[in-house]
Amino acid sequence: MKFPLFATCVSLCVLAGCKSASSTAAKTDNSEQVGTAAVDLDSSEPVVSKVSYDPGAPATPVTLTTANFERQVLQSDRPVLVDFWAPWCGPCRRMEPTIEALAKEFRGQVTIAKLNIDEHGEIADRYQVTNIPRLIVFRGGRPVDSVVGVTSKEELATRLHAALGVTPVAGTTRQMR
């Protein structure tokens, strides 16, 4: 996922009258390095620190099992979107292209994962999944957001930005305070 240049993000915040600005920024080359840049407007020096970003993360959803759920979801250092699904579920199959697209868009920032409830029902029971598709966003090992049913990519992206602590503003991405 590409973000606008840091200067553009900060400029928008300055125009909006923010006391301090924080923005997620990326290089414009193909390296997709992502960091959090913060500027104290009383000082002209930007302070840049890296957010949790894994350039080696898969661009496809992770398949969850009982064996890897704790490591992949509960112990993750970044947000995780878990798609609780079943192969016989038509709406679940409709969500597959959306889940695939989100895995590419949020690669390295959010883990996108799928859990087959027929094969791993005990995990679905633990999170009271009674209707599918059910998508639960985990952060810090805890569920922080959930949606049931076919949901647009845009709606899910908004929820993932919220889990990351950023919100899209006029074509930019900005850190929420």
**Active site residues per annotation:** 89, 92
Helices of type H across the chain:
6-16, 69, 90-105, 121-126, 153-164
Token digits of residue 152:
């647009």
* Pairing label, strands 34-40, 20-26: antiparallel
In total, the chain counts a number of residues equal to: 177
In sequence order, the 6+-apart residues with CB closer than 8 A to the CB of 47 are: 37, 38, 39, 40
Angle at 58 between CA 27 and CA 23, to 5 degrees: 30
In sequence order, the 6+-apart residues with CB closer than 8 A to the CB of 58 are: 103, 107
